[in-house]
Copies of this chain bind each other. A is one copy, B any other.
Amino acid sequence: MSAPDMGQLYRQVDQHEERALQLLEELATQPSISAENLGLDEMAELCRQKMEEYGIEARLLPTDGGPPVVYGEIKGAGDKTLLLYNHYDVQPVDPLELWESPPFEPSRRDGKLYARGVADDKGDIAIRLEAVRLWKELYGDLPITLKFIFEGEEESGSPHFYRFVEQNKDLLQADACMMEAGGLRSDGHPSLTPGVKGMLNLQLSVRTARNDAHSAMAAVAPSAAWRLLWALNSLKGPDGRIQIAGFYDNVRELNDLERTVIESNPSTEDAVRSALGIDTFLDNLSGYAWQERLYNGPTCNIEGFLTGYTGSGYKTVLPAVASAKVDFRLVPNQKPLDILEKLRLHLDAHGFADVGIDEVYGAEGPARTPLDDPFIQFLDALSAEFVGKSTVVVPNNAGTAPMDAFVEVLKIPTAFTFGGSGYDGSQIHAPNEHIRIPDLATGIKFMLLVFSRFGELTLG
């Protein structure tokens, strides 16, 4: 096949911007909230239909206990295969009253499109499907084989996804994987993130009596509030060091290349500080140390703690029950189930056998594709070429996504890339989620560039 004319492709993208927008509006009209088990089957079926309509062979694959995964495949001329991961589920919409237009009725205002999921992650789905359609319309066959998987539980911690990938290992085999895509950074640079932290997410609770008692009884009777508070304090004191024996054993320090890459990155400290509305970071972190902690510091975070009476005024009660939701963000090469076991041992060893781990919401492993992997270098260069500014690469996201399945099970290089529908101000997970409409076309163009070049890549 002769080299495609990217200029011609890009013009087609611009001419068909309205078509891509309508596709996204159609996807965003279907509610699909995994946390509420709302509309997931309907959304999966809609994605399957759209794939078929766009010339992608598609089917729904079951998971062990979760909603189906939408699988699509379109054979290309060359021998390379690129796996594209997205998720069709979205975050809940609460607080609904803060939305300026209904979350599942896409609304165009001032060059933006508002609806739940337009940035996270239905916009990326629209970009990738539209890129396929445009390429086929202009050139027929794609130069590479594409495999699509759209998961339905990403916003709920992907509890069945790792197992799904294990069960479909052969089907999903590919040369590399692109996860969800991001937009330009606010400083105008594209970003590339070939890793994620893992997460162990659970609830601890304790019961010390049948019912709450009058607080006069605190003189002689145990308190669930204090028991859980002390147990949590034993996990991490004011110095921030996590006290679970062996917690840090498997933490891999950043290597020279990772350090060098991080040191070359423009600082985002001020922007992050301002976005969070804080004066200083923990331990007055700044510069390289701040980035190192952000990317390679495991955490023990209290998502929530509830005990006793917490309404207006007061109530003199001695609480009988207390519970806390705790998440640990893990870095290579920590393993969530190993940390879970060490946590239980810690509680028992510190006199907190009464504190139960009563729910494990998620256990996702960390993952990193090495920065010198050819796929990462390819995306680094391609993003910079496309945008005209250097790519900002970090070893991993500070958050979590089901990347470990690709890296550990399929053993393929994987990254979050440039080319998504959202931007810094998209308010994902919040009311009034939106995209800037022109970013859709930008994403499609970048995806077409990836299609055109991925076949040339020599992978390790």
Chain A residues at the B interface, C-beta cutoff of 8 Å = 35, 156-157, 197, 199, 201, 203, 208-211, 213-223, 225-226, 229-230, 232-233, 236-238, 272, 276-278, 281-282, 285, 290, 293-294, 297-310, 313-320, 322-323, 325, 327, 329, 351, 361-362, 397-400, 429
Whether the Cβ atoms of B304 and A305 lie closer than 8 Å is no
Whether the Cβ atoms of A308 and B302 lie closer than 8 Å is yes
Q: Which residue of B lies closest to A201 (CB)?
A: B314
Instruction: List, in ascending order, chain B residues with CB within 8 A of A313's CB.
Output: 35, 156, 361
Whether the Cβ atoms of B220 and A297 lie closer than 8 Å is yes
Instruction: List, in ascending order, chain B residues with CB within 8 A of A226's CB.
Output: 236, 238, 302
Whether the Cβ atoms of B305 and A308 lie closer than 8 Å is yes
Known contacts A219-B299, A221-B282, A398-B219: A325-B304 contact under CB 8 Å: no
In the complex, besides A218-B301, A304-B315, A305-B306, 16 extra interface pairs with C-beta distance below 8 angstroms are A201-B314, A209-B276, A211-B276, A211-B277, A214-B399, A218-B300, A219-B294, A221-B282, A226-B236, A229-B233, A277-B320, A303-B309, A303-B314, A303-B317, A304-B308, A310-B323
- Determine the main DSSP class of A at the interface with B: mixed
A297–B293 alpha-carbon span in the complex (Å): 45
Whether the Cβ atoms of A218 and B329 lie closer than 8 Å is yes
Contact pick for A223, options B220, B285, B302, B309, CB 8 Å:
B302
Known contacts A201-B314, A293-B220: A302-B225 contact under CB 8 Å: yes
Q: Which residue of B lies closest to A232 (CB)?
A: B229
A323–B308 alpha-carbon span in the complex (Å): 12
Instruction: List, in ascending order, chain B residues with CB within 8 A of A225's CB.
Output: 301-302, 304-305
Q: Tell me, rounded to whole Å, the shortest Cβ–Cβ distance linking A420 to chain B.
A: 17
Whether the Cβ atoms of A327 and B305 lie closer than 8 Å is no
A227–B210 alpha-carbon span in the complex (Å): 30
